Chain A
Amino acid sequence: MKALRSLLILMVLAAPVLFWAIIWHPAQVRMATNEARIREARARIQELPRYAPLSDQETAFLEAPSAPWKARLPLIRGDRDRLAHYHQVVTEVDQAFRRRALKVHGMRSSWNAIHASFTLDQGLGLDGPNGLPVGLAQEGSLAAWVLEVQLDGPTADLFTALGQLGAMPPLLEPVGFRWEATPERRAQALWLRNLVLVPPEGSR
């Protein structure tokens, strides 16, 4: 009887300990590992941004080689392209202003980059060199040059000229405005910045 009672007590006491040691604790350790895997994976999933994939229509629009929008930021590979582009911009500005009866006194330009930098939103994922996404280096980085357009005529012509900028194919951003009327001299001019793409440093 005593042995049976002892055996019963031993069983009742030892069973939970054995269960904990053999089954529960190892399983808890393994589950804790797996739960850590789940937490880490979920945290990394949360870090990944969501985005809308490209539709076929959008892909066709973006990848069309002769898309009109691509001409507004042309790729300038050398002096030949540069001269052609300069000629095109000057011609289109001249024609657009003449259509509005504006008297262009003269033009001058400089290809030196100005410090008034053109910047893009950081949220676009610009993590490559020159602020370009990885894989885009071969497409070129932004560069700018400034065209000064000197106008004759009344002061109001300056504002008329400013109103014409958005309608011209070259992308011209007004960065300077000069008006001078002294007894010795009368002059008025607009400084227009044009953006182009140039090959990356290594490929020039």
Chain B
Amino acid sequence: MPVHPRSSNRRPYLLFLEDQGMRVTQPDGLLLGMIQDTPDRSAHRASWAEELQRLLPKGASVQVCIGLSRLGVQCQESPAMPPQEAQAVALRAAAADPSGESMLVGHALEADPEAQGGHVHWSAYLPTTDLAGWSAALEAAGLEWVHAAAWPRALLRGLPPSTRPARDRVILAMAPRQGRVLFFRGPSLMLQRSFQLAPDLSEAEGRDQAVEETSRTLQFFKQRYRGSTPGELLAIGTGVFPDAQVARLRAMGLAVQESQGTLDEVLVRGLAQERAPQGLDLRPGHVQEAHRRRTLRAVVVLAAVALLGAFILGGGLVHTRERMVEAEATRVEAELARRQAEDQGRLRVVAARFPLLRLRAAEQRQTQATEHLSRLAALLLSPPRGVALDKVDIQQQPGPELTLSFQVSGTALTGSSFSVGPLASYVASLQHLGGLALDPLQDIRVSDRLVAGESVSAVDPSQSQPQARAITRFTLSGRLL
């Protein structure tokens, strides 16, 4: 049982389809085997599937790089356009092919700021019959055909980055038995030509032939595109040119750059980029449709799994949050029950403290009442000169507020001239006490009375005589808050 090398990182195996046959490589370009093509294809097609099964694991994904000589490529400057329109342009280009055969068509749009419209439209087409046998073999081998790239596109996308590439440049790509000369203007392929190398040629002889082919193609290019002069030649897979050949190429106006990597390395890089959705794809329609269906089915399955996962995750989060809230509700209610139980204890505590609190309140009220009563009584019992009190009566009023009512009666004497001056002074002194409110004076009686006065003459007491005085009887009442 063959041991198949594993595809790393799910990158596809690479199948380089050329006129001689198909080279099967690992995703990194390492050669696994070669399937020869023959003019009598029908006799060998059955064996292609077996060869592929032998070289590749079942179900492996593969990417085909089509380098057949009948592959047609057209590039034209264009504005940006939707995929349907780009497809229509490619179909028109394929329909213009003089062979009149049914074509597989692919297209891509490259941004090119210097192009008219800002883009270059790539159309690639290939007679359906050229790929039918290989397509059937891939299907029979149970391989997943993920992409079919056009060889010039893979070369263009895999070129090493250059800081200031020339607008018009020549790429000389050398394989062991074949060479290609491609003329690019920006990302647009202007012209390509391939040539075969004899098996017995040495490397130096191969380079000689390549330079010769480059020279001829350049002359053709200059005739076809008058005024266009490529200024740069990038050689891939040629090895180091001798000085004489470099001089010859310079004489053609080409500055020579020799790529360090092999042609396969460039193609592997380019194929990886071409697998992107915007790449040019030459797979037959039914293969693309089947692939899209598989992809969509996988998307549906993934979406179902993702939605189920989101359901479970979201449900879990919601459930967790709900449990937290429920636990908090239980905790708070337990706290409430505990506090209520404590509150029953509060009544017991209040009941236990109540007698002492009641006594302290009574003592406080006793102190306040004593202080209030003493202050009021002292004030009432301190009349000014000329006022004689008969009666002072103070009573505490019912109610929670400490309010004292009082009633004072007495006599106010005046001088010889009629006046209530001492009584007014007494009333004024009472009003100085804060919180004291006097009722209106109601019981005031004024009368003249002869009062036994002092002796007019100290020498003769018999000469003493009564002195007239005004007497005011009064009754005051009020309250102290």
Chain B interfacial residues counted at CB < 8 A:
71
Known: A11-B307, A45-B336. A178 touches B392 (CB 8 A): yes
Q: Which of A40-62 contact B (CB under 8 A)?
A: 41-42, 44-45, 48-49, 51-54, 58-59, 62
CA distance A202 to B184 in the complex (A): 120
A92 within 8 Å of B by Cβ? Answer: no
Q: Quick check: B381 and A139 within 8 Å, CB to CB? A: no
B378 within 8 Å of A by Cβ? Answer: yes
CA distance A134 to B348 in the complex (A): 9
Determine the chain A residues whose CB is within 8 A of the CB of B292 once the complex forms. Answer: 1
Q: Quick check: A73 and B392 within 8 Å, CB to CB? A: no
Determine the chain A residues whose CB is within 8 A of the CB of B329 once the complex forms. Answer: 34-35, 37-38, 41
CA distance A110 to B188 in the complex (A): 128
Determine the chain A residues whose CB is within 8 A of the CB of B296 once the complex forms. Answer: 1, 4-5, 8
Complex partner residue of A31 from B289, B310, B322, B352, CB under 8 angstroms: B322
Q: Quick check: A179 and B381 within 8 Å, CB to CB? A: yes
Q: What's the dominant secondary structure at chain B's contact region?
A: helix
Determine the chain A residues whose CB is within 8 A of the CB of B395 once the complex forms. Answer: 175-176, 191
| Binary contact track A144-182/B, C-beta < 8 Å → 1, others 0 | 000000000001001100110110000111111111111
Determine the chain B residues whose CB is within 8 A of the CB of A133 once the complex forms. Answer: 347, 350-351, 354
CB distance from B402 to the nearest CB of A (A): 10
* Beta-carbon nearest neighbor of A42 in chain B: B332
Q: Quick check: B389 and A181 within 8 Å, CB to CB? A: yes
* Beta-carbon nearest neighbor of A18 in chain B: B311
CB distance from A131 to the nearest CB of B (A): 10
B248 within 8 Å of A by Cβ? Answer: no
CA distance A37 to B389 in the complex (A): 73
Q: Quick check: A173 and B362 within 8 Å, CB to CB? A: yes
The stretch from B124-132, B369-377, B420-428 touching chain A is B369-377
Q: Which of B332-389 contact A (CB under 8 A)?
A: 332-333, 335-336, 339-340, 342-343, 345-359, 361-363, 365-367, 369-370, 373-374, 376-378, 381, 389
* Beta-carbon nearest neighbor of A33 in chain B: B329
Known: A73-B355, A135-B347, A162-B374. A8 touches B303 (CB 8 A): yes
Determine the chain B residues whose CB is within 8 A of the CB of A182 once the complex forms. Answer: 390-391
Complex partner residue of B293 from A1, A70, A124, A174, CB under 8 angstroms: A1
* Beta-carbon nearest neighbor of A159 in chain B: B374
A83 within 8 Å of B by Cβ? Answer: no
Complex partner residue of B300 from A11, A41, A179, A195, CB under 8 angstroms: A11
Pair count A-B, CB < 8 A: 202
B140 within 8 Å of A by Cβ? Answer: no
Q: Quick check: A139 and B370 within 8 Å, CB to CB? A: no
A66 within 8 Å of B by Cβ? Answer: no
CA distance A179 to B383 in the complex (A): 14
Complex partner residue of A115 from B297, B328, B378, B398, CB under 8 angstroms: B398
CB distance from A148 to the nearest CB of B (A): 12
* Beta-carbon nearest neighbor of B374 in chain A: A162
B314 within 8 Å of A by Cβ? Answer: yes
Q: Quick check: A23 and B314 within 8 Å, CB to CB? A: yes
Q: Quick check: A120 and B352 within 8 Å, CB to CB? A: no
| Binary contact track A103-139/B, C-beta < 8 Å → 1, others 0 | 0000000000011111111001100000011111001
Q: Quick check: B318 and A23 within 8 Å, CB to CB? A: yes
Known: A31-B321, A54-B349. A44 touches B336 (CB 8 A): yes
CA distance A42 to B395 in the complex (A): 51
A93 within 8 Å of B by Cβ? Answer: no
Known: A24-B318, A116-B397, A121-B361. A165 touches B347 (CB 8 A): no
Q: Quick check: A73 and B358 within 8 Å, CB to CB? A: yes
In the complex, which range does the number of interface residues on chain A fall in? 35 or more
B452 within 8 Å of A by Cβ? Answer: no
CB distance from A143 to the nearest CB of B (A): 12
Most buried by A among B311, B342, B392: B392
B178 within 8 Å of A by Cβ? Answer: no
Determine the chain A residues whose CB is within 8 A of the CB of B437 once the complex forms. Answer: none
Q: Quick check: B366 and A165 within 8 Å, CB to CB? A: yes
* Beta-carbon nearest neighbor of B365 in chain A: A173
CB distance from B477 to the nearest CB of A (A): 14
CB distance from A67 to the nearest CB of B (A): 9
Q: Quick check: A135 and B351 within 8 Å, CB to CB? A: yes
B319 within 8 Å of A by Cβ? Answer: yes
Determine the chain B residues whose CB is within 8 A of the CB of A139 once the complex forms. Answer: 355
Q: Quick check: B347 and A134 within 8 Å, CB to CB? A: yes
B396 within 8 Å of A by Cβ? Answer: yes
B325 within 8 Å of A by Cβ? Answer: yes
CA distance A15 to B357 in the complex (A): 69
* Beta-carbon nearest neighbor of A49 in chain B: B346
Q: List 14 A-B contacts (CB under 8 A).
A: A1-B293, A4-B297, A8-B296, A8-B299, A15-B307, A41-B336, A45-B332, A49-B346, A54-B353, A69-B359, A125-B350, A171-B362, A174-B366, A181-B389
Knowing that A19-B315, A120-B358, A173-B366 touch, tell me 16 more A-B residue pairs with CB under 8 angstroms.
A11-B303, A15-B311, A51-B346, A70-B355, A73-B358, A119-B400, A166-B367, A166-B370, A171-B366, A173-B370, A174-B370, A178-B392, A179-B393, A180-B390, A181-B389, A191-B395
Q: Which 4 A-B pairs have the closest CB atoms?
A: A115-B398, A175-B396, A177-B394, A119-B400
